[in-house]
Chain A
Amino acid sequence: MDHTSPLETIFRRVALGVILVFFLFPIFWIVLMSFQTNEQILRIPPRVFFSPTLSNYKALISGELITTVGSLKLTFMHNLWNSFFLSTTSVLVALVLGVPAAYAFARFKFRLGEDIAFTLLSIRFAPPLLILLPLSLLFNEIGLSDTYIGLIWVYQLICLPLIVWIVRGYFEDISPDIEHAYRIDGHSWAQTFFRIAVPLARPGIAAAGLLSFIFAWNNFVFALILGSADKQPVTVGALAFVTAAGISYGQIAAAIVLSILPTLALALYAQRYLVEGLSLGAVKG
């Protein structure tokens, strides 16, 4: 596959260039905006050159916005923490519940197995709006409304189906022969699962974990409806810069940049597991 003609190489580079520009230019522009005041952003026509300011970041991080009226309190950093806490715990819970289930669906043919797997998927397509009103009534009854536990539970709607169905595919791609050999050596089922199956499926688990983290991070309707102001994630928090007195685009841009950073760090960390994929090819099939 390395025998590419020069023409093809050029084509591939141009195509990749176009793709990178399309996907990254808006991000680049948002980063630029995060260093501008609103007055600089709202210019006709828009300009690439400007004298940068750190005031947006300062306001977000210190939690104080100096305006003509006085100093306003911002809860952005707390929102960021909520997002981080909710997404991390939800993904961890989903991994603990989902990876064994995925393994069961991949390795065993059991009665109702496919039905259970499909039911797990189907919770993903219950539209959130449909269940939110009854759910908030239910949560009021059982005392889960406005608690982190209640929210983490609801976040399983986002995370669990993704993890079960993506990881399942990876388990199915790994030949069961290795596990058989290991078990014949006298190891228990649990040892086989943790020492052989899970490490082999690591790229899939990493990809599923990363993606469900991102989806949990981007959600806002659950916390908005079920939580009070101190449980709100960064997605709701960033909307606070849209007020009757105007939209603070600079601060929203800075909020986007700050809210991307944790996810980006996680993606860079997960990267090492994602690339393992190729080296695993040898043990498959």
Chain B
Amino acid sequence: MNRRVLPYLLSLPALIVCIGIIVPFVIAIYYSMQRYNLALPYLRGFIWFGNYQSLFTSSEFWKTVTVSLLYTVFTVGIELFLGLGTALLLRRPTTFNNIAAILLLLPLMTAPAIASLMWKLMTNPGFGILSYLISLVGITNFKWASSPTTALFTVILVDIWVYTPFIMVLLIAGLRALPRQPFEAAELDGVPRTFVFFRITLPMLMPYIITAVLFRLIDSIQQFDIIYAMTQGGPGDSTLVFQVAAYLEFFQYTNVGRSAAILMVLWVITYVLSLVFVKNWRRLRERAHGAV
């Protein structure tokens, strides 16, 4: 088969399937430029960037941007740290490690929307086991998702619980797929272990880390299930992230135009972040291969 045509033949079916999804996306861009509240049909009209302008001049929106970014940085950062640590601990394919790796996937298997209901119960001041456990060590007035100072912490905690296993499983697979020669050579030469970790393991693992972080990043900045189920964006607007704000605009306030504008901003942020990651992904891949 022709080498020039083959890659297109291989990748186009996947692309075509996605184009069906892109059409509604273009319609949504058009909505974002309209004054379009379903409940006020007589006011509908094209207003160019009016929705965006109103967003960028509103302090609540900037709060949403800040909260979303904080949420993303903390969840992805901590999940990467924990996921990498766990993967290193479970690196060797012993039976115990393999079983532990599967068991650690369990939080990821409980759908976040439902798991959050359980977390809400477990953090209830009366019936909640977690509230009870921390009261045993003397913390009795911790309000979890109910206090503006701890709500963000609480939803981040649940996110970490659910999604760390995602990073972990990708990195275990990555670690186990690394070639052995560099490590064997380093051991023969008596290279210190920290040096091996930072100079061999980490760089070679980097493409896997980037893939895992990329997907977590996309999902985390778009998190909805956990936050909506735990706090609905409150208290005040301390956890009002993009998707919750957009959800409320659409489903509660029927303000399609504004909702679409919020989501377009989110889309642009995600796009830029992903682009940075993918550029690095390529560079690191080439370097990782060069290092071997």
CB of A218 within 8 Å of the partner chain: yes
Residues from chain A with Cβ under 8 Å of B267 in the complex = 125-127, 130
Q: Are A130 and B25 in contact (CB under 8 A)?
A: yes
- Output the least CB separation between B292 and chain A (Å): 4
B side interface size, CB within 8 A = 105
Q: Are A252 and B114 in contact (CB under 8 A)?
A: yes
Residues from chain B with Cβ under 8 Å of A120 in the complex = 11, 14-15, 18
Q: Are A134 and B121 in contact (CB under 8 A)?
A: no
Residues from chain A with Cβ under 8 Å of B115 in the complex = 26, 256
Q: Count A-B contacts at CB 8 Å.
A: 286
How does the 8 Å CB contact mask read for B7-33 relative to A, with 1 for contact and 0 for none?
110111111011011111101100100
Knowing A23-B161, A138-B24, say if A100 contacts B177 (CB, 8 Å): no
CB of A85 within 8 Å of the partner chain: no
CB of B256 within 8 Å of the partner chain: yes
CB of B105 within 8 Å of the partner chain: yes
Residues from chain B with Cβ under 8 Å of A165 in the complex = 211, 214-215
Residues from chain B with Cβ under 8 Å of A10 in the complex = none
Question: Which chain A residue has the least Cβ–Cβ distance from B106?
Answer: A27
Residues from chain A with Cβ under 8 Å of B256 in the complex = 133
Contact of A104 among B11, B107, B282 (CB under 8 A): B11
Contact of A275 among B11, B93, B218 (CB under 8 A): B93
Q: Are B169 and A211 in contact (CB under 8 A)?
A: yes
- Output the least CB separation between A275 and chain B (Å): 5
| Stretch touching chain A among B52-60, B124-132, B146-154 | B124-132
Q: Please report the C-alpha to C-alpha distance between residue A279 and residue B3 in the assembled complex, in whole angstroms.
A: 31
CB of A203 within 8 Å of the partner chain: yes
CB of A72 within 8 Å of the partner chain: no
Within 8 A of A (CB), among B162-195: 164-166, 169-170, 172-173, 175-181, 183, 187, 193
Q: Are B28 and A130 in contact (CB under 8 A)?
A: yes
CB of B142 within 8 Å of the partner chain: no
Residues from chain B with Cβ under 8 Å of A20 in the complex = 100, 103-104
Q: Please report the C-alpha to C-alpha distance between residue A165 and residue B281 in the assembled complex, in whole angstroms.
A: 11
Within 8 A of B (CB), among A204-245: 204, 207, 210-211, 214, 217-218, 220-221, 234-235, 238-239, 242
Q: Are B222 and A125 in contact (CB under 8 A)?
A: yes
Q: Are B222 and A127 in contact (CB under 8 A)?
A: yes
Q: Are A26 and B118 in contact (CB under 8 A)?
A: yes
Q: Are B250 and A125 in contact (CB under 8 A)?
A: no
Residues from chain A with Cβ under 8 Å of B166 in the complex = 211
Q: Are A156 and B18 in contact (CB under 8 A)?
A: yes
Knowing A162-B215, A249-B121, say if A125 contacts B11 (CB, 8 Å): no
Within 8 A of B (CB), among A79-110: 97-98, 100-101, 103-105, 107-108, 110
Residues from chain B with Cβ under 8 Å of A280 in the complex = 177
Q: Are B28 and A124 in contact (CB under 8 A)?
A: no
Interface centre among A126, A169, A204 (most CB of B within 10 A): A126
Contact of B126 among A15, A44, A164, A207 (CB under 8 A): A44
Q: Are A113 and B7 in contact (CB under 8 A)?
A: yes
Knowing A26-B119, A125-B271, A260-B110, say if A110 contacts B8 (CB, 8 Å): yes
CB of A60 within 8 Å of the partner chain: no
Q: Are B104 and A19 in contact (CB under 8 A)?
A: yes
Q: Please report the C-alpha to C-alpha distance between residue A19 and residue B113 in the assembled complex, in whole angstroms.
A: 23
Interface centre among A15, A133, A282 (most CB of B within 10 A): A133
Contact of A29 among B28, B82, B129 (CB under 8 A): B129
Q: Please report the C-alpha to C-alpha distance between residue A119 and residue B19 in the assembled complex, in whole angstroms.
A: 9
Q: Are A116 and B222 in contact (CB under 8 A)?
A: no
Residues from chain B with Cβ under 8 Å of A274 in the complex = 101, 169, 172-173, 176
How does the 8 Å CB contact mask read for A130-158 relative to B, with 1 for contact and 0 for none?
11111101100000000000000110110
Q: Please report the C-alpha to C-alpha distance between residue A260 and residue B260 in the assembled complex, in whole angstroms.
A: 34
How does the 8 Å CB contact mask read for B254-270 relative to A, with 1 for contact and 0 for none?
00100110011011001
Residues from chain B with Cβ under 8 Å of A98 in the complex = 14
- Output the least CB separation between A58 and chain B (Å): 20
Closest 8 CB pairs of A and B: A277-B176, A134-B24, A104-B10, A134-B27, A108-B7, A125-B270, A104-B7, A130-B263
